[in-house]
Chains A and B, each alone.
Chain A
């Protein structure tokens, strides 16, 4: 096997649970866009099913901060959603919030015991550190969390304003994590270098993770910014989140275009004294890093965004001198570099300037240990290692500012390598985000194609802005269900064995790569060259699915199935006969409730059909008695067990002229044919399920359809094909199934399980169980509809092959597509025309 080099390949260790080798699953674009590979399609489908606990399992499996992310994740899944280009991405983030709010803060996960002797020290309880703590605690390690402040959560607590992320939501996640992971020991107010040293940590623990965050705001780098009315965004948000609600000047300027800038401006807008808040950003709207929902929220709250403007000096006397910018060539990160426009200096009056232009890390202790490089902990991304072999690092302190979900990814990644280290594995396979699926069925909502995205209710500043009420609320249960139904389910199997989810995604990939990217082209070609497993192995059972009808084209004239007629009248019995309007009879209702039997009786009368069973359905409905004790003179025909009849040497009719036949199982075909011919019987009822008049045999699985070919072959051998009629029972699910059986040489069929299912029977127990979920009129209509549909389907097949009479269907109208069915049915293979 050549190594497959697609993006789906696994390079992670064997202990990572991953489903990408399941041929019926491909990670959806939303899942791939999520740094931690959240199984969004599954939790969305669970929301539709109303299974919130299962949804939380799917969310929480990769995301311990589910309540937080349900509100403030930057949600890269949503722009990746294939529905984003159509009528709006699925609201993946808000559905997560819905699940967490519905389950509530009291919802706990079972605790995981400490099973390992080694311990872990983690510095910093932000998303990276706590995710790593969570993973390692789940793996059985005792994890000591050292947090400088008096709160867990890091930037999630200190950096995001309460109107976007209430304290309760942060607490909900922290409580769930600490309840789930009692092995996490928390040490608050324990700053590194102040209350605890790196050396101490290394002595106490087998391995240490530095996830110290980036809590120091970067300066703008312009003259005058040391003025007292200039503050950095991180510090501003920190003190407000600590409980301060300072009165500010009338006009506040916020510098920057990221999420901190958005939060800072919206906080300022709510504080006493403030009338105007303006955001000064040096590029244009398209280049703005802030999430568009946050930007829109700011605009909706009355904040002015000033684009293409850059501060050059803080003017003493409450103004900011700015220049206008134009966008030049793209720089390293692909965004176009702003260039100052000469002579465009202008002053913007203000009472306060909040500089939200980036954060950095400072730590004297690590500096002294030689672990810092510039404003970060020097970290190797591949193994998350630092200059000290027992010290790992992750999060903003290691790699600079990132989103919560990126920090969580780093936490997972660090935990993976730390666990390998703890297990003595010095060269673990490279980490890769695992992709899992819960294989939740596609939700079946009729309006899934039509419904547009359901928007969350937006409250803006609220009635009392200073109290920081939440800016938006989540869905109601009905809204959540409607939104969840919209998911395309890019991860799930399609329903086509030809255009499977795997081949669809390969085609998608072919359509989205650079034609000259040979590595990608080759990796797709490798994938396309994979042969499926043979669907027709030796265990494959011969069923009617492997027979096809041959359409009339040029060598035959097609009969229009929409408009032209097809004769369905059936003479049931070769010598003595019963006249039926259709070749469909019904069976298997001997033990059904009387309401069911009465309804079916009416539809049998209406369609000119008959019932085959031990007891009659009604006086009007034609009845073919399966003789168990005495022959009933009222029966329109009788059928007797072949083995018993042969043993008795004869069968006795209740009256002369009563059509009579044998009930034939697979074991007695040839003998039954011979006996029927000798006794001049009228028909053979072929029952490979060995179950008539009951349905348990039919419900047990695929019937052995070769019984028909065997009976025909015996008759043909004797050259007496016209002298006895063949009737078939077993596994007929459609009118097409029946048409195939008719074409093989029978004159009529009887349906059992299909009729029961049409009447709402539950077959999960292996027998038919009827419920009171339909009224008499509905039952009669349904049983009638089934006979009508089956008859129409069978005649559609006949007309497609160019026949105007169902009885004229013949084996030559069909081909086999598998060898096993070619043998079982005596029909040649399509393509080779070989008869097997």
Chain B
């Protein structure tokens, strides 16, 4: 037994020592815990940690196999996301005890706070006293045993799992029902209680999901998109696409769903030009050798940054929205081109980890596929707040795509129409987020860069919070960002364009004198090297491409990703359809696309007169439209004091198709 005195030791040092003890198989006792946060976070060895006092937030969180005994009380989110192992709290626990657990046993001998067991997937959460409101909120599996009373909305919006309440239930949550207990269930509960030396003689009320909400009797008729994205025009205001939308809503009584991003025209990077003709000379590959494109992301607080061969990442896209084959091909292409791949929401695949040299692991509100072991083998971690395609909505995966394999990696029941929660259980504001950031840093020994992914809204405000909450990088996604399924209303109407987003981000950071230590990664409609260089000139540090990479790898842009029967095997979990995808061929295609992107970035940089892409600036750009000029503050070409001379050949800068 090793003793650690938290009054003498910083929590990071303490956790490092606990980890060392774990490796050595030595149990640990913590004295003077003083309700510190993050005690024992990120432990992956089967030792016992005895906390002699009370613990703060996230005690025992993000661990796998360890046992925690907390003599007195525990703060918010005790046992967060534990994979296996146990936590026993001698006193009371705060809100969201056992949040997102995937197989552990959590015992709170006293009372527990609200939303206990939120989005839990498996395991047992047991409370000797009363549970505050919304116990089992949005749980996906496992069981909650409450020996005392359950306050309001027990099991609110649960998808699966069971809640057993010994005392009174103040009210049932949405979409729940009371059912009879099955044979043997009581014996199993009694066996559990006995193991933890809890005595109980009374009966239980069993609460389960009624399974009615978010399930529709009639499905949206499938149809291919009509090319009517120019709706803002008087003559075709009630165009056939508008009429089709209304007709279908009359049939199904709800909003429509599709894949891809905003389809309407919005101000974008192609409303901006370079101030020089960047193709007046063709550079040979050797001439571009000395143009630096190398980009590091995430070094703000000393973690090992991502080291990219150019200012490009692959955007987060989930295994789920995309087939396994596509995730493997993307990972391979990222390695071949020296850039990073991102897991998106669906958890990390072993093949994906093996193929990718640099892999970002994304943490979403539903904590689907989230676990400490994959965190510790990731090259960066990204907390998803929202995305450009559907900010405000959680991930959406139609039942057809929730196969047994997918359900297993995400830890959810198969065949449910999955709609991830809109908010993280443990991030209700900027202050929570600061502590969440610390928990993640503890779980990854402060070695892994930590980013935040946001769909662009009030960017000017949000970016300041992201900066002050201590992120290493921000991945900021404009209105044009794509998805595998979302309400068309949100796709088209929620969020600001990527061009507006980068400007607000730069302005916001300048307003607080943030300097440039937090890396800004821009995404949403980045298609080529032209877009990348323009984005960097506007102030971004890096870019991220999703849709374009998928198109390079065979996507035909039919925008029917949500249907689940992708004709080219990309946005599908159907094995027959997935078999249509050739991993070797398409990973090479994507690799060639990235190499073409690289050549474009280098050529433009060189043509603009620089030896480093990170030296491009706003001085290299000019706006072509009044909107682009207003949004970015760049001079308008037609009013440009220096450029606006006919003999300079303005048409070279303002190239028009046709």
Which residues B271-287 have CB closer than 8 A to chain A?
Answer: 271, 273, 277-279, 282-285
Q: Say yes or no: A550-B457 contact (C-beta < 8 A), given A563-B213, A758-B249.
A: yes
Q: Does B225 contact A (CB under 8 A)?
A: yes
Contact B567 A448 (CB under 8 A): yes
Contact A556 B557 (CB under 8 A): no
Contact A449 B560 (CB under 8 A): yes
B585 and chain A: residue at smallest CB distance: A85
Q: Say yes or no: A551-B386 contact (C-beta < 8 A), given A449-B566, A829-B631.
A: yes
The docked-state distance in angstroms from the alpha carbon of A499 to that of B599 is: 21
Contacts A498-B266, A541-B234, A831-B630 known; list 15 others, CB within 8 Å: A23-B658, A85-B585, A496-B557, A506-B527, A518-B284, A529-B279, A531-B624, A534-B625, A541-B233, A553-B455, A554-B429, A554-B454, A734-B245, A759-B250, A832-B632
Contact A818 B627 (CB under 8 A): yes
The docked-state distance in angstroms from the alpha carbon of A535 to that of B589 is: 32
Contact B255 A494 (CB under 8 A): no
Q: Does A658 contact B (CB under 8 A)?
A: no
Contact A792 B254 (CB under 8 A): yes
Give the number of chain A interface residues (Cβ < 8 Å): 123
Contact B385 A525 (CB under 8 A): no
Contact A531 B270 (CB under 8 A): yes
B residues in contact with A44, CB < 8 Å: none
The docked-state distance in angstroms from the alpha carbon of A754 to that of B264 is: 20
Which residues A738-781 have CB closer than 8 A to chain B?
Answer: 740, 753-754, 757-760, 763
Contact B651 A1 (CB under 8 A): yes
Q: Does B460 contact A (CB under 8 A)?
A: yes
B residues in contact with A547, CB < 8 Å: 493
Contact A701 B264 (CB under 8 A): no
B residues in contact with A818, CB < 8 Å: 267, 627
A residues in contact with B260, CB < 8 Å: 496, 499
Contact B552 A85 (CB under 8 A): no
Contact among A85, A448, A529 for B224, CB-based, below 8 A: A448
B residues in contact with A534, CB < 8 Å: 271, 624-625, 627
Q: Does B529 contact A (CB under 8 A)?
A: yes
Cβ contacts A528-545/B at 8 Å (1 or 0 each): 111111111000110101
10 A-B pairs in the complex with CB atoms less than 8 angstroms apart: A1-B655, A446-B223, A449-B560, A493-B227, A525-B530, A531-B654, A553-B455, A701-B234, A731-B237, A831-B267
A779 and chain B: residue at smallest CB distance: B250
Q: Does A592 contact B (CB under 8 A)?
A: no
Contact among A507, A556, A783 for B458, CB-based, below 8 A: A556
Cβ contacts B373-411/A at 8 Å (1 or 0 each): 000000000000110000111100000000000000000
Q: Say yes or no: A833-B657 contact (C-beta < 8 A), given A512-B592, A554-B465.
A: no
Contact among A446, A501, A555, A702 for B232, CB-based, below 8 A: A702
Closest 5 CB pairs of A and B: A800-B392, A831-B500, A495-B225, A551-B391, A758-B250
User: Chain B: interface residue count, which band?
Assistant: 35 or more
Q: Does B609 contact A (CB under 8 A)?
A: no
Cβ contacts A552-566/B at 8 Å (1 or 0 each): 111111111111000
The docked-state distance in angstroms from the alpha carbon of A492 to that of B421 is: 37
Binding site for A on B (CB under 8 A): 138, 157, 174, 213-214, 221-235, 237-238, 242-243, 245-247, 249-255, 260-268, 270-271, 273, 277-279, 282-285, 385-386, 391-394, 419, 421-423, 428-430, 433, 454-455, 457-458, 460-462, 465-466, 469, 479-480, 487, 489-490, 492-497, 499-501, 503-504, 525, 527-530, 547-548, 551-554, 556-560, 563, 565-569, 577, 580, 582, 585, 589-590, 592-593, 595-597, 599-600, 603-604, 624-627, 630-633, 651-652, 654-658
Q: Does A797 contact B (CB under 8 A)?
A: yes
B505 and chain A: residue at smallest CB distance: A831
Contact B567 A541 (CB under 8 A): no
Contact A492 B234 (CB under 8 A): no
B588 and chain A: residue at smallest CB distance: A511
Q: Say yes or no: A497-B393 contact (C-beta < 8 A), given A83-B567, A760-B247.
A: no
Contact A561 B392 (CB under 8 A): yes
Contact B625 A553 (CB under 8 A): no
Contact A701 B230 (CB under 8 A): no
Q: Does A789 contact B (CB under 8 A)?
A: yes
In whole Å, how far is B255's beta carbon from the nearest beta carbon of chain A? 5
In whole Å, how far is A443's beta carbon from the nearest beta carbon of chain B? 8
The docked-state distance in angstroms from the alpha carbon of A733 to that of B282 is: 50
Contact B567 A545 (CB under 8 A): no
The docked-state distance in angstroms from the alpha carbon of A334 to that of B224 is: 41
The docked-state distance in angstroms from the alpha carbon of A796 to that of B493 is: 11
A502 and chain B: residue at smallest CB distance: B657
In whole Å, how far is A673's beta carbon from the nearest beta carbon of chain B? 27
In whole Å, how far is A27's beta carbon from the nearest beta carbon of chain B? 15
Q: Say yes or no: A494-B566 contact (C-beta < 8 A), given A545-B232, A789-B249.
A: no
Contact among A540, A556, A563, A799 for B174, CB-based, below 8 A: A563
The docked-state distance in angstroms from the alpha carbon of A819 to that of B214 is: 39
The docked-state distance in angstroms from the alpha carbon of A553 to that of B247 is: 33
Which residues A429-455 have CB closer than 8 A to chain B?
Answer: 441-444, 446, 448-450
Cβ contacts A3-28/B at 8 Å (1 or 0 each): 00000000000000000010110000
Binding site for B on A (CB under 8 A): 1-2, 21, 23-24, 82-83, 85-87, 441-444, 446, 448-450, 486, 488, 490, 492-499, 501-504, 506-508, 510-516, 518-519, 521-522, 524-526, 528-536, 540-541, 543, 545-563, 699, 701-702, 731, 733-736, 740, 753-754, 757-760, 763, 782-786, 788-790, 792-793, 796-797, 799-801, 815, 817-819, 829-834, 836
The docked-state distance in angstroms from the alpha carbon of A558 to that of B392 is: 6
Contact among A492, A493, A525, A533 for B529, CB-based, below 8 A: A525
The docked-state distance in angstroms from the alpha carbon of A546 to that of B565 is: 33
A residues in contact with B567, CB < 8 Å: 83, 86-87, 448-449, 486, 488
Contact B553 A511 (CB under 8 A): yes
B residues in contact with A801, CB < 8 Å: 392, 494
B residues in contact with A548, CB < 8 Å: 479, 493-497
The docked-state distance in angstroms from the alpha carbon of A831 to that of B247 is: 35
The docked-state distance in angstroms from the alpha carbon of A441 to that of B239 is: 14
The docked-state distance in angstroms from the alpha carbon of A786 to that of B273 is: 44
B residues in contact with A82, CB < 8 Å: 554, 556, 568
B651 and chain A: residue at smallest CB distance: A1
Q: Say yes or no: A702-B392 contact (C-beta < 8 A), given A733-B246, A830-B500, A834-B630.
A: no
Contact B489 A797 (CB under 8 A): yes
Contact A496 B213 (CB under 8 A): no
The docked-state distance in angstroms from the alpha carbon of A70 to that of B569 is: 30
A residues in contact with B250, CB < 8 Å: 757-759, 782-783, 785-786, 789
Contact B246 A754 (CB under 8 A): yes
B residues in contact with A551, CB < 8 Å: 386, 391-392, 455, 457, 494-495
Q: Say yes or no: A446-B496 contact (C-beta < 8 A), given A731-B237, A789-B253, A831-B504.
A: no
The docked-state distance in angstroms from the alpha carbon of A688 to that of B466 is: 43
Contact among B254, B501, B596, B626 for A831, CB-based, below 8 A: B501
Q: Say yes or no: A800-B458 contact (C-beta < 8 A), given A551-B386, A817-B496, A832-B631.
A: no
B residues in contact with A87, CB < 8 Å: 567, 580
Contact A2 B655 (CB under 8 A): yes
Contact B214 A562 (CB under 8 A): yes
The docked-state distance in angstroms from the alpha carbon of A450 to that of B457 is: 38
Contact A497 B559 (CB under 8 A): no
Contact B249 A786 (CB under 8 A): yes
Contact among B246, B263, B551, B657 for A507, CB-based, below 8 A: B551
The docked-state distance in angstroms from the alpha carbon of A540 to that of B265 is: 12
A763 and chain B: residue at smallest CB distance: B238
A residues in contact with B460, CB < 8 Å: 833
B residues in contact with A85, CB < 8 Å: 554, 568, 580, 582, 585
